[in-house]
Amino acid sequence: MKRYFCYTLIGCTFLVTILSFNFLESQGLKDVSSFPIGTAINFDQLKADAKLKKIQIENFNSITAENDMKMYNVKPNEKEYNWDKVDQMMAYAQKNKQRVFGHTLVWHSGTPDWVKEKGRKDTLWLDNFLKEYILDYVGRYKGKIEGWDVVNEALETEGGDYRKTLWYNVLGKNYIHKAFKYAHEADPNAKLFYNDFNIERDTLKLQGVLNMVKDLKSENVPISGIGFQMHIRMDIPGEVIEHALKKAAETGLLIHLSEVDIIFNKHDDTKNGGVQKYQELTEEMKIAQAEKYKNLVDIYKRVVPKEQQYGITFWGFTDRDSWVKSFFKINDWPCLFDDNLEAKPAYHSFKKALH
């Protein structure tokens, strides 16, 4: 009788272990995280690819349009708005209970040529266009789009100076203040971000952002957060990233890792500017990348206070589709899933670190 009881107990323990193991395995990234886990998507591609869609739904509870919500897509010409794709995305997000993050209202690379041509010659027109565009866009999705990258990449690639874009050249640095004010006017509850790249490693550039934030706050401009794009390389030291996130968190603003990917090769931040150093992805490289992804989560959780953790968003989740390859013209393996949409060691280590 006693022996029978023992066997039953062992059997039950075994079953519970197996079941809980399966349960953990069947949980996606979002299910084990205390903050939202997002990804950039190309909506047409997602719609057409069942496997991609399944992975996206299982793992993410926040989405950012990779390109579909940029100005050149939403306002392709003076006469009309093109809301179609955004509306489809909103419906998808609602159905799958995902947060929509708006990317991006004002960005030099997202500005269509027709706006550049007109704006260059007519300051008043550009000033008015900025206002109308933001009020229309943010107003249309009021209460539905939770947060926005209001201004993207307003600083030069290196250092802390303002980037000499159409917006800056015609309207002065005040265009940033105005953009935030209009967005807030259109949706007072939306979280409003300034977003930029390399600020986790370029100290001068980070200081430029912090100065800008100070400036905005001193004029009561409603900024809620800083977006670290976090397109990083394997050789960017964790200590450097940690220092930058710590300084940014001291502002008390929300901190969003907004476009995360980790590459092995190099580039000079310009289109087609990639340098191919590694030809293939070895097992050792996969393990090292897994460690790097884990460290990133550890740093974020350690340095950014809980109430300031807006989330971690990937700039795509498969090596197959990563923007890095086409944009910089290199082959690389920056994401959590590989070319065949299988989870890499990076996926598992990232997930474990979220627990």
152 is a site residue for ligand XIL (CB under 6 A): yes
126 or 230: whose CB is closer to ligand XIL?
A: 230
Name which of 67 and 251 has its Cβ closer to ligand XIL. Answer: 67
Calculate the CA dihedral of residues 235, 163, 109, 115 and round it to 10 degrees. 180
Window 79 to 118, contacts with ligand XIL (CB under 6 A): none
Strand partners, 262: 232
How far is it, in rounded angstroms, from Cα 169 to Cα 93? 37
Does position 309 interact with ligand XIL (CB under 6 A)? The reply is: no
Residue among 68, 146, 242, 259 that touches ligand XIL (CB under 6 A): 259
Shortest spacing between CB 142 and ligand XIL, in angstroms: 23
Q: Which residue number, 81 or 327, has a Cβ lying nearer to ligand XIL?
A: 327
Closest by CA position to 255, among listed 109, 147, 97:
147
73 touches ligand XIL (CB under 6 A): no
Burial class (CB in 10 A: 0-12, 13-18, 19+), 193: buried
End-to-end CA distance of the chain: give it in Å, rounded. Answer: 41
Question: What type of residue sits at position 71?
Answer: M
| 254-263 and 309-314 beta bridge pairing | parallel
Nearest distance, CB of residue 73 and ligand XIL, angstroms: 11
- List the Cα angle 46/228/284 in 5-degree steps: 70
Which of 41, 59, 66, 89 lies at the binding interface for ligand XIL (CB under 6 A)? 66
CA distances, 329 to each of 206, 220, 265, 325, 340 (Å): 27, 42, 11, 5, 20
Q: Which of 53, 58, 67, 341 binds ligand XIL (CB under 6 A)?
A: 67
Binding mask 192-221 for ligand XIL (x = CB under 6 A): -----x------------------------
Where in 316-335 is the site for ligand XIL (CB under 6 A)?
A: 323, 327
211 vs 272 by CB, closer to ligand XIL:
272
Q: Write out the two tokens for 86.
A: 């955004």
Assess 146 for contact with ligand XIL (CB under 6 A): no
User: Which residues are tagged catalytic?
Assistant: 153, 259
What are the residues binding ligand XIL (CB under 6 A)?
Answer: 66-67, 152, 197, 229, 259, 323, 327
